[in-house]
Amino acid sequence: MATENPFSKLKTGTLLSAIVLFYVGCLAVFDLIAKYCQVSIDYWIKHDLIYAFECLLVLVWIRGQSKAAVLNFRLLFRATRSVSMIYLSGVTVMLIIFRAGVVVVSSSLLLFLFPVWFKSWYLERNSYSTITSQPVLDAILEIFMTVLLAPVVEELLFRGVLLNRWSMKWGIRMGVLSSSITFAIIHREVFSAFIFGFCMSLLYIKTGSLLAPIIVHGLNNAFAVAVGVLISPAFFSREAPSLNYILLAV
């Protein structure tokens, strides 16, 4: 008798629904606090806190599901000798160059074909002109979540959980495609994020370990923050050019 795949017991639809509801609920709570307690909550601090809470929600869910499904998630982080830091660094550089080129070409094409729409929607959607009132705290949260928290939690969720669950359900091709699309939806630059998610899926499949995509994800985000700081001293005041985010941030 064949052993049941433990990923078949994971209810990913419930998790995704909970994340959306949790996000909406957090926004409502922060708005109520600001309205009735007369407490001004910085926009970017609020955004960072909600993201941190959502990451905690994902980790709590994964811990609970690992017990219920008898699934040892630590096996997803097993060491592999098939890749090295030089290889992963090279992958990161190539991804950054490729995605930047794709975004520049696609943006130029859209600007040429649909100038009015592009200026009124696309550029405004990726505009970061809100000034934070607490730049030091915001800088600490931004670095922690962008470089450390996001790579671990997002790779664990999208590659560790969703890719495995949906590949078991629909096949490896649809698993890679659907998990990459879901990954792209939660990011501002959707097409660039889809490419990144697709490549991280292939890297995970190649190595059989989440360590590889986590490292590449972290290096990518660290590079984005570093470039943002070099290009604009006001990066952590949220007045940095939106191009930093459009090209690099995932």
Angle in degrees, CA 31, 32, 35, rounded to 5: 85
Q: Quick one: average pLDDT of 21-32?
A: 88
- Per the CB < 8 A criterion, the answer to whether 212 and 151 are in contact is no
pTM score, two decimals?
Answer: 0.84
pLDDT tens-digit profile of 188-209? 778 889 999 999 999 999 998 9
Check whether 162 has a pLDDT greater than 90: yes
Check whether 140 has a pLDDT greater than 70: yes
Where residue 38 falls among pLDDT bands split at 50, 70, 90?
A: confident
Check whether 221 has a pLDDT greater than 60: yes
DSSP 8-state class, residue 168: H
Average pLDDT along the chain: 81
**How confident is the model at residue 150, as a pLDDT?**
93
pLDDT tens-digit profile of 68-113? 777 888 888 887 777 888 889 999 999 988 888 887 887 788 778 8
Where residue 232 falls among pLDDT bands split at 50, 70, 90?
A: low
**Percent of the chain at pLDDT exceeding 90:** 34
Contacts of 102 (CB under 8 A, 6+ apart): 191, 192, 195
3-state helix, strand, coil in the chain (%, to 5): 80, 0, 20
* Tokens describing residue 99: 């995605």
Q: Residue 157, exposed/middle/buried by CB under 10 A (0-12, 13-18, 19+)?
A: buried
**How confident is the model at residue 137, as a pLDDT?**
67
